[in-house]
Amino acid sequence: MRKLGMMIGALCLSAGAAFADPVEGTWKTEPGDTGGYLHVNVYGCGDAICGVIRNAYDKSGAAQPGYEHLNKRMLWDMQAEGGGQYGDGKIWAPDRGKTYNSKMSLNGNTLTVEGCVAVFCRGQTWTRVQ
């Protein structure tokens, strides 16, 4: 009986890698200075989490197909730390054109994303679209 329990436990652990990370999906950013927002597709890339800008919207919610940063990488090298925490990643801020050290915290259908330089950080809370 003990061997059976150990085999089931080992099988569950090895199968865990085959499942998608709970942070994967499409996320809506907070509105920027102009009131527009983005949809960012967050996905597994190797052993890390990455994110790409898939859609842009103006303050009225109208799609902006000509947005210059569509399909640009926004998150990369994000490492799952357990308990809905992610760290050691990078985030590119389209409004500043700069890259920051980043961490994220997942809580249900909200994702808190922060970018930091030294001790100065700024962040947003994103909501799950799908």
- Whether the full predicted model's pTM is greater than 0.85, yes or no, is no
45-82: per-residue pLDDT in tens?
999 999 999 999 999 999 999 999 999 999 999 999 99
How many residues appear in the chain? 130
Q: For 72, list phi and psi in degrees, rounded to 5.
A: -85, 140
In whole angstroms, what is the distance from residue 3 CA to residue 42 CA?
A: 39
Q: Domains along the chain?
A: 22-128 (2.40.128.520)
